[in-house]
């Protein structure tokens, strides 16, 4: 924060200590930066100051009375006292008021042992009560994954703020009424994100996990640090584990928590923790057969829900045996990334979630955002609430779940991603900065044709140009719809040109938890010639943590290693549960590759791809007291030689008739949890009434269709919020095959009545 960094600072004195902080920080932020404790109840670093509890009051010389340190800006020369007899008495009275009608249920409350109210009642010596209030009838409410007990609620507003500012759902509000006040769901007819953010930030036991309730005391649980394996955000979390009972000595994950002060989790990360490979056992004869099969295999097929170290070991095994590596969910992303490098002059995209949160102009392109990348949606919600960001959402399907964040929807035709990317380039590239060849490319674009064929009018594009006026921080987000597009490389070059010659930072959302790491480490092959999606096809050796491959693998909550996140950060994760089968290191040793543990490869991850030679045990964890992430390290985004220019867009294919879009609902927690298996019967084809009319089917009817060689039979359900002739088909219930669907996400599909004979 030196002036050499061109950051304005202020210096003040707090409790006799001189503190220098960034201009604009509050007294509370300055104190935390200096390691000085000021008590709070309602304050959360990741939301705007709430100022409902008044616990953070301090005294400032020359100022009458006490002031709220969470709101008051630090100024040069201020002299601040955080602790005095008067401040102690003030905070003590506040705690007495909090305790006046909060039932003393600590013996059975799930929050006991980690309750802010409990801790501060003791801290400020509240051992008598001079206030009284009439008891109110406030029954416990069941909100699905979460239970709400209004009798324990202290109206701190944390839950309301995170639902609005972080998640962006705006589902919770306070219903005022003095001591009768409660938190209410103001959107009872709309789906909740089921993220658990409100529960996580609750400082008391008012909001708790329905499944965890009454199952364990907090102090009985061992906290094991991990990284969420459900999407590419790799969020920080802690698996909380203990042995189930004397009769059942196997440990069990009871819940997942995180450092909620600074970080967030979606519902998949918080509630979808039961995805371990339970059935794996060591069978020497079966292992010997697997080793022999691998020696002869032409292809090693796997998903990118693996660690960086496993990816590197697979690359070495493939070189040793001569097999090709096939990872369907990462191959398209690797093609995109390599083409991007050839055009961008750097190894990795420039955007990250922190920049996205601070953006005031955001373009989202080619992703079903709510389902594909919850944490990206959270970052956009923060930008919308704090920066009043303009959010342009470009996709063939409208998503009513993010309507409150989107300021302009551009609906284009399925298959038109390359044309839409070209239209965006024509709009966003600063021709004054672009080289002559790129200017010529833009001038040669047939805007009229692209506009007509993609169904994006020139007026829509011009409207986006107008809202960009006076905006300062720009982010372009691209997602999984383009990675398996037939023209993915050219789309990557077009988007790289936008980032290179405009003010937009690009974020390319990896399609699975470690697709970025796998793409950087492995040389992936295209799908094997003549390969039909299925299990153990001839010439294939399939590795699976789902228990349905040639060799089982430990799931990501059963192993230690690193993941590479959307933030381009290499983060560690640790085993929360034991694994009974063979691991990849066992397989490597059987092939003559000398390695004891997979994490021995952590410092050997490829430096040329930006990895650092840091041993696994030396990787840091957590956050500092200002919320700066310390986990792992950032990949080096190195300059690359590359001036590749986009090609003229190809003719846009039209998708006539009914179209199926491959997308798993985000709240189903991916393709490998116990909850997913319970919900497998609920995997439905969901479309509009218009789709039903085009396909000549009815709501509730069982239908069948085929995509990528996989035959699906689904119950069709009409969603009245959807429009057009595109229906959503989940694949979470197809097991390992869900990772082997490598085609473009939109597929023309002829829908048959389930009982009809093939035509």
Q: pLDDT higher for 653 or 496?
A: 496
The CATH number that applies at residue 698 is 2.40.40.20
- What local confidence, expressed as pLDDT, does residue 6 receive? 63
Any bridge partners for residue 685, and if so which? Answer: 716
**Is residue 662 scored above 50 in pLDDT?**
yes
Two structure tokens written together for 372: 């594909």
Give the strand pairing for 390-394 and 408-410.
parallel
Q: Which of 460, 491, 512 is the last residue of a domain?
A: 512
The predicted-structure confidence for 412-459, as pLDDT tens digits, reads as follows 999 999 999 999 999 999 999 999 999 999 999 999 999 999 999 999
- What local confidence, expressed as pLDDT, does residue 247 receive? 66
Largest CA distance in the chain: 87
**Is residue 203 scored above 60 in pLDDT?**
yes
- What local confidence, expressed as pLDDT, does residue 529 receive? 41
Quick one: average pLDDT of 682-686? 85
Helical (H) or strand (E) element with 393: strand 390-394
Q: Which of 25, 51, 83 is the last residue of a domain?
A: 83
The CA distance from 215 to 24, in Å, is 45
Instruction: Determine how many CB atoms are found less than 10 A away from the CB of residue 248.
Output: 9
Counting beta carbons within 10 angstroms of the beta carbon of residue 357, is it exposed (0 to 12), middle (13 to 18) or buried (19 or more)? buried
Contact 590, 294 (CB under 8 A): no
Least confident of 431-440, 533-542, 643-652: 533-542
The predicted-structure confidence for 314-327, as pLDDT tens digits, reads as follows 999 999 999 999 99
**Is residue 528 scored above 60 in pLDDT?**
no
**Is residue 5 scored above 60 in pLDDT?**
no
Q: Both 502 and 387 in a single domain?
A: yes
**Is residue 737 scored above 60 in pLDDT?**
no
498: three-class secondary structure by DSSP:
helix
Return the HEC string of 323-391: CEEECHHHHHHHHHHHHHHHHHCECCCCCCHHHHHCCCEEEEECCCHHHHCHHHHHHHHHHHHHHCCEE
The CA distance from 317 to 294, in Å, is 9
Report if residue 127 sits inside a domain. no
Q: Both 404 and 387 in a single domain?
A: yes
The CATH number that applies at residue 186 is 3.30.70.20
Residue owning tokens 């705006």: 170
**Is residue 676 scored above 60 in pLDDT?**
no
> Which parts of 149-250 are beta strand (E)?
172-175, 182-185, 207-209, 222-227, 236-243
The predicted-structure confidence for 721-735, as pLDDT tens digits, reads as follows 888 899 999 887 765
- What local confidence, expressed as pLDDT, does residue 682 receive? 67
**Is residue 245 scored above 70 in pLDDT?**
no
- What local confidence, expressed as pLDDT, does residue 708 receive? 74
Q: Both 365 and 296 in a single domain?
A: no
* Residue 60, CA distances (Å) to 26, 65, 66, 73, 82 in order: 13, 8, 8, 12, 9
The CA distance from 519 to 358, in Å, is 28
Q: Both 373 and 504 in a single domain?
A: yes
pLDDT category at 681 given cuts 50, 70, 90 is low
Contact 591, 597 (CB under 8 A): no
Give the strand pairing for 236-243 and 251-257.
antiparallel
Q: Both 358 and 503 in a single domain?
A: yes
Report if residue 466 sits inside a domain. yes
The CA distance from 516 to 518, in Å, is 6
Could you tell me where the DSSP H helices lie in 179-238?
197-201
Q: Both 594 and 520 in a single domain?
A: yes
CA angle (539 as vertex; 535, 540 as ends), nearest 5: 40
What's 165's DSSP letter?
Answer: I
- What local confidence, expressed as pLDDT, does residue 262 receive? 92
Q: Both 317 and 402 in a single domain?
A: no
Instruction: Determine how many CB atoms are found less than 10 A away from the CB of residue 262.
Output: 18
Region at 388 (left for phi over 0; alpha for psi -120 to 50; beta for the rest): left
- Give the torsion through C-alpha atoms of 611, 617, 619, 623, to 10 deg: 160
Q: Which of 634, 649, 682 is the last residue of a domain?
A: 634
Rg (alpha carbons) of the chain, rounded to whole number: 27
Q: What phi and psi values does residue 58 have, to the nearest 5 degrees?
A: -135, 170
Report if residue 350 sits inside a domain. yes
The predicted-structure confidence for 477-493, as pLDDT tens digits, reads as follows 999 999 999 999 999 99
Question: Mean pLDDT score of the chain, rounded to an integer?
Answer: 89
The CA distance from 20 to 8, in Å, is 10
Quick one: average pLDDT of 598-627? 94
**Is residue 531 scored above 50 in pLDDT?**
no
**Is residue 666 scored above 80 in pLDDT?**
no
pLDDT category at 675 given cuts 50, 70, 90 is low
Q: How many domains does the chain have?
A: 5
Contact 252, 655 (CB under 8 A): no
DSSP calls for 548-605: -SSEE---TTS--EEEE-TTSEEEEE--SS---S--HHHHHHHTT---S-GGGGGGGS
- What local confidence, expressed as pLDDT, does residue 280 receive? 84
Contact 516, 232 (CB under 8 A): yes
Q: Both 497 and 354 in a single domain?
A: yes
The predicted-structure confidence for 165-182, as pLDDT tens digits, reads as follows 999 998 999 988 777 888
Q: What phi and psi values does residue 236 have, to the nearest 5 degrees?
A: -65, 135
Report if residue 123 sits inside a domain. no
Contact 454, 416 (CB under 8 A): yes
Least confident of 56-60, 431-435, 541-545: 541-545
Q: Both 531 and 486 in a single domain?
A: no
Give the strand pairing for 474-478 and 361-365.
parallel
Two structure tokens written together for 678: 């319970």
Q: Both 504 and 536 in a single domain?
A: no
Two structure tokens written together for 332: 């398209």
Domain containing 66 equals 3-83
Contact 498, 420 (CB under 8 A): no
The CATH number that applies at residue 368 is 3.40.228.10
pLDDT category at 535 given cuts 50, 70, 90 is very low
- What local confidence, expressed as pLDDT, does residue 546 receive? 67
Least Cα distance to 654 among 455, 360, 411 occurs for: 455
Helical (H) or strand (E) element with 702: strand 702-707
Report if residue 111 sits inside a domain. no
Per the document, the length of the chain is 759
**Is residue 736 scored above 80 in pLDDT?**
no
Report if residue 88 sits inside a domain. no
Report if residue 102 sits inside a domain. no
pTM of the entire predicted model = 0.92
Report if residue 242 sits inside a domain. yes
Neighbour-count burial for 362-392, b at 16+ CB within 10 Å, e otherwise: bbbbbbbbbbbbbbbbbbbbbbbbebebbbb
Q: Both 396 and 504 in a single domain?
A: yes
As a whole-number percent, the residues of the chain with pLDDT over 70 amount to 92
Q: Which of 91-105, 489-503, 717-731 has the highest mean pLDDT?
A: 489-503
- What local confidence, expressed as pLDDT, does residue 730 receive? 87
- What local confidence, expressed as pLDDT, does residue 3 receive? 35
* Residue 284, CA distances (Å) to 288, 345, 586 in order: 6, 50, 11
Q: At what angle do helices 417-428 and 458-467 cross, to 10 degrees?
A: 40
Least Cα distance to 352 among 465, 510, 194 occurs for: 510
Q: Both 556 and 583 in a single domain?
A: yes
pLDDT category at 4 given cuts 50, 70, 90 is very low
The predicted-structure confidence for 152-167, as pLDDT tens digits, reads as follows 999 999 999 999 999 9
């Amino acid at each position: 924060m030196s002036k050499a960094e061109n950051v304005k600072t202020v210096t003040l004195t707090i409790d006799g200590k001189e503190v220098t902080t960034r201009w604009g920080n509050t007294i509370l932020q300055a104190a935390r930066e200096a390691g000085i404790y000021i008590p709070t109840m309602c304050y959360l670093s990741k939301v705007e100051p709430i100022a409902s509890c008044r616990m953070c009051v301090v005294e400032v010389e020359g100022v009458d009375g006490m002031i709220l340190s969470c709101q008051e800006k630090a100024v040069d020369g201020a002299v601040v006292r955080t602790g005095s007899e008067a401040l102690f008495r003030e905070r003590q009275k506040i705690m007495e008021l909090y305790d006046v009608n909060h039932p003393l249920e600590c013996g059975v409350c799930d929050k006991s042992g980690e309750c802010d109210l409990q801790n501060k009642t003791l801290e400020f010596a509240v051992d008598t009560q001079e206030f009284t209030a009439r008891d109110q009838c406030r029954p416990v409410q069941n909100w699905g994954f979460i239970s709400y007990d209004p009798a324990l609620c202290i109206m701190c507003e944390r839950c309301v703020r995170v639902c609005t500012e972080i998640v962006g759902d705006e589902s919770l509000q306070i219903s005022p009424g003095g001591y009768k006040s409660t938190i209410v769901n103001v959107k009872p007819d709309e789906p909740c994100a089921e993220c658990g953010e409100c529960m996580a930030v609750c400082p008391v036991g008012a909001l708790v996990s329905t499944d965890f309730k009454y199952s364990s005391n907090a102090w009985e649980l061992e906290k094991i640090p991990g990284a969420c394996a459900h999407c590419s955000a790799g969020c920080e979390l802690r698996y909380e584990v203990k042995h189930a009972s004397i009769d059942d000595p196997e440990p069990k994950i009871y819940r997942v928590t995180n450092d909620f002060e600074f970080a967030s989790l979606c519902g998949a990360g918080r509630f979808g923790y039961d995805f371990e490979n339970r059935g794996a056992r060591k069978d020497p004869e079966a292992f010997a057969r697997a080793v022999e099969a691998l020696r002869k295999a032409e292809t090693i097929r796997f998903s990118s829900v693996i660690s960086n170290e496993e990816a590197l070991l697979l690359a070495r095994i493939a070189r040793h045996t001569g097999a090709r590596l096939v990872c369907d969910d990462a191959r398209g992303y690797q093609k995109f990334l390599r083409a991007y490098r050839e055009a961008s002059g750097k190894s990795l995209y420039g955007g990250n979630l922190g920049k996205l949160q601070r953006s005031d102009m955001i373009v989202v392109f080619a992703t079903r955002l709510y389902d594909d990348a919850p944490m990206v949606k959270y970052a956009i919600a923060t930008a919308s609430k704090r920066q009043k960001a303009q959010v342009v959402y470009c996709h063939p399907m409208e998503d009513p779940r993010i309507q409150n964040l989107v300021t302009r929807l551009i609906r284009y035709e399925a298959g038109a991603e390359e044309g839409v990317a070209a239209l965006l380039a024509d709009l966003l590239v600063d021709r004054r900065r672009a080289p002559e060849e790129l200017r010529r490319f833009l001038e040669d674009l047939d805007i009229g044709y692209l506009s007509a064929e993609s169904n994006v009018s020139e007026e829509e594009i011009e409207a986006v140009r107008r809202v960009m006026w006076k905006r300062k921080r720009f982010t372009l987000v691209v997602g999984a719809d383009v990675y398996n597009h037939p023209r993915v490389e050219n789309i990557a070059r077009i988007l790289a040109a936008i980032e290179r010659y405009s003010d937009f930072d690009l974020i390319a959302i990896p399609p699975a938890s470690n697709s970025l790491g796998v793409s950087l480490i492995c040389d992936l092959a295209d799908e094997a010639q003549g390969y039909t999606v299925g299990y153990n096809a001839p010439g294939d050796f399939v590795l699976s943590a789902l228990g349905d491959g040639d060799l089982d693998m430990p799931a990501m909550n059963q192993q230690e290693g690193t993941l590479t996140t959307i933030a381009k950060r290499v983060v560690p994760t640790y085993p929360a549960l034991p694994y009974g089968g063979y691991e990849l290191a066992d397989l490597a040793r059987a092939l003559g590759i000398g390695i004891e543990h997979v994490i021995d490869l952590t410092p050997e991850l490829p430096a040329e791809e930006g990895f650092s030679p840091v041993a696994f045990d030396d990787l840091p964890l957590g956050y500092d007291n200002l919320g700066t992430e310390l986990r792992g390290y950032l990949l080096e985004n190195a300059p690359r030689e590359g001036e590749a220019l986009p090609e003229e867009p190809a003719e846009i294919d039209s998708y006539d008739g009914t179209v199926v879009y491959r997308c798993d609902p985000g709240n189903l927690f991916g393709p490998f949890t116990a909850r997913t298996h319970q919900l497998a019967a609920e995997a439905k084809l969901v479309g509009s009434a218009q789709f039903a009319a085009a396909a000549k089917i009815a709501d509730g009817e069982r239908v069948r269709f085929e995509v990528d060689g996989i035959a699906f039979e689904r119950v069709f359900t009409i969603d009245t919020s959807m429009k057009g002739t595109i229906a959503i088909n989940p694949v979470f219930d197809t097991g390992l095959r869900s990772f082997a669907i490598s085609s473009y996400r939109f597929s023309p599909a002829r829908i048959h009545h389930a009982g009809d004979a093939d035509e």
